Structure 1
Amino acid sequence: MKVVMNKKVEFQDLGNMPYGKAWDYQTELFDGIVQTKLENRRRKDRGEEEIPTKNYLLFVEHPHVYTLGKSGKEEHLLLDQKGLEREHVEFFKINRGGDITYHGPGQIVGYPILDLDNFFTDIHKYLRLLEEAVILTLGDYGIKAGRIDGLTGVWIGENGDPNPRKICAMGVKTSRWVTMHGFALNVNANLNYFGNIVPCGISDKAVTSMQFELGKEVDMQEVEKVLKQHLSNLFEMELFENQQN
C-alpha cells in the first residue's frame, strides 16, 4: 500500500542558536525521517500501511561561525586557533557538500529537512528551487540576482559584471532522499568576517549583503516572511508553524 505524498512542512523559527546545537537538532530530525523510511520498507514487505514521513523548514541565526564542508580545504580558513579565539568565532568541519563559509548575526540560515519522496527525487531541481526562492525574494526588494554557471548559490552581477558577488551560499547533504543543511542569505551580515576565509573556495569573487546593496539595514523578520512564502510556493508546501523557544 503506497503512502500519498505528504507536503505538510513544519516551520520552526529557532531564533539565535549556536551552530553546534542547531546541527545536533537538524541531525535528530533528519535521522527520525530516515528511520521512518526504513520502517516503511519493512512495512511494505509485510503488506502493511506505511507511515507518512515528516518534513521541516528551520530558520535560524547563528553566532559567528565558520563551517567547512566535506569537499573543502582547511587552508581556506585564514585564521589559526588563536585568531579564531581573538575574533570570537567557532569552527566546525561538517558533513554537507561545498567548501568553507561563514554564518553570523544578520544572516538568515535556512535548513529544509525534507523527504524529497514527498516532492520530487531530483537533487539538481532541489538546489535550483532553493536558489530561485532567494532570487525571487531579492527581486521583491529591487535587487536583481541570479546564478553563475558551475557555481552553486545566488549571485549579484551574474551576467558579464566585472564584479560578481555572492549574496547567498548553499550546501546540502542528502541520504535516502532526505535533505539537511541548506542556505545562508546575507541580509545585514558583517561582511568583514568573510575576509578571514576563501568563501566557498572561490578566491576571485566578492561577497555582499542586502544591506550593502540597498545602502540601508533591512528588516530581517520581513525578509524571512517573504522568503518563506516563496519556498512554500515553489515546493508546493503546506506550511504550518511551530515556534521554538
Structure 2
Amino acid sequence: METDFLSACVQPAPQPVPAAPVPAAVGTNRTVQVQRLGRVEYVPTWDQQEALLAATVAVKTRNRQAEASGAAPEATPNYLLLCEHPPVYTLGKSGKPEHLLLDEAGLQAHGATFHRINRGGDITYHGPGQLVGYPILDLENFRPDIHYYLRTLEEAVIRLLADYGLAAGRIAGLTGVWLDFEEGDPNPRKICAMGVKCSRWVTMHGFALNVNTDLSYFGHIVPCGITDKAVTSLQQELGRPVPLREVEDGLLRHLAELLDAHLVE
C-alpha cells in the first residue's frame, strides 16, 4: 500500500471478524508497545502519532533496500497510545465543516478547540472521560487488510461491553460500535467512534470509546454526519461511572487475543 487509505464513518457492510487470529508469518513482529498517556492535549498526541508512523515507514523503506541487496530485514515496531483529551472537535478529510454547530466564540465558551485532521470520517468529539486509542501498527505484522483491521477494533469493543452486560454490535454501512444495533431496534446509539489513516500498511488515529464522557458536547456537532441516531456512554448505560483504567485493561486483553499480539508497557 503506497498511498494513504482513509476509512470513513460510512463503510460497506461490515465483514465478520474471523474466529481465530491469522497465524504470524515468519519475521513478523506482534509485540505492541502500549503507552498510557493520561490526559493530554490533542495536537502533541497527533504529532507523536505522525512521528511513530514516519519512523515505522522508514524501517519498511530500509527493508526494501535490504532485500534488494540480500540483507536481512528489520522487524517493524507496533504501538498503541491510550489517552484522554481536553474537549476537542476533529474533522476528517471527508467531513463537512458545517457539521460543527459552534463558531469560535462558542468553542471558547465551552472550553473546546477544533482541528481539521488527516483521518477518514466526518466530525467527532474527544473529551475527559473518553478512552481514546491510537494504534500505530504495521498491518503486515498482522494482516494487511484495512477492513479486517477496523472490524477487529470493533470486535474488541463489542467484547469489552459484553463484559459489562451490554449487547453491542455493528450497523451495516456504519463504522463503529452501537447499542440497539439490530434492524428495527427503537433507539440505536453509538458508543464508540472510529476513523483511521493507513500509509504503507501502517495505521494511525483509531477509536474513541465513551466511558464517562459528558455527552452534552455531542449536541454541538452532527456526529459523523449522522442525524438520526443518538450517542451514549458506558456510564449512561450502566447508571454509574466506570474507572477508566479498568476499561483500558479490559480492552487491552481483548485486543491482545484478537490480534494474537504480545502487549508490553
Is the TM value for this pair above 0.5? yes
Residue in structure 1 matched with residue 117 of structure 2 by the alignment? 94
Look up the SS of the partner of 2:77 in the other structure: coil
Which of 221, 231, 234 is the equivalent residue of 2:255? 231
Map residues 1-245 of structure 1 onto 2, 5 A cutoff: 4-159=27-182, 160-241=184-265
Look up the SS of the partner of 1:155 in the other structure: strand
Deviation of 1:46 after TM superposition, in Å, equals 1.0
Q: Which runs of 5+ in 1 are unaligned?
A: none
The one-character-per-residue Cα deviations of 1:130-180 (angstroms, maximum 9, x if unpaired) are 000000000000111000000000000001212100000000000100000
Aligned residue pairs total 240
Distance in 2, matches of 1:142 and 1:3, equals 39
The one-character-per-residue Cα deviations of 1:166-218 (angstroms, maximum 9, x if unpaired) are 00000000010000000000000000000000001101100000000011111
Q: Which runs of 5+ in 2 are unaligned?
A: 1-24
Once the two structures are aligned, what percentage of the paired residues are identical?
62
The one-character-per-residue Cα deviations of 1:11-64 (angstroms, maximum 9, x if unpaired) are 100111000010000111011001110111111111111111000011010000
Moved over 6 A (4+): none
Look up the SS of the partner of 2:119 in the other structure: coil
Distance in 1, matches of 2:111 and 2:177, equals 28
Q: Output the aligned Cα RMSD.
A: 0.9
Residues 55 and 113 in structure 1, CA contact (< 8 A), matched pair in contact too: yes
Distance in 2, matches of 1:222 and 1:85, equals 32
Deviation of 1:3 after TM superposition, in Å, equals 6.3
Residues 3 and 50 in structure 1, CA contact (< 8 A), matched pair in contact too: no
Distance in 2, matches of 1:110 and 1:231, equals 11
Look up the SS of the partner of 1:204 in the other structure: coil
Deviation of 1:9 after TM superposition, in Å, equals 0.7
Distance in 1, matches of 2:97 and 2:64, equals 39
Distance in 1, matches of 2:26 and 2:241, equals 46
Look up the SS of the partner of 1:112 in the other structure: strand
Deviation of 1:74 after TM superposition, in Å, equals 0.3
Look up the SS of the partner of 2:197 in the other structure: strand
Look up the equivalent residue of 1:22 and give its one-letter code: T
Distance in 2, matches of 1:3 and 1:216, equals 46
Distance in 1, matches of 2:37 and 2:51, equals 15
Distance in 2, matches of 1:139 and 1:3, equals 34
Distance in 2, matches of 1:29 and 1:117, equals 16
Look up the equivalent residue of 1:80 and give its one-letter code: D
Look up the SS of the partner of 1:33 in the other structure: helix
TM-score by length of 1: 0.97
The one-character-per-residue Cα deviations of 1:114-142 (angstroms, maximum 9, x if unpaired) are 00010001111000000000000000001
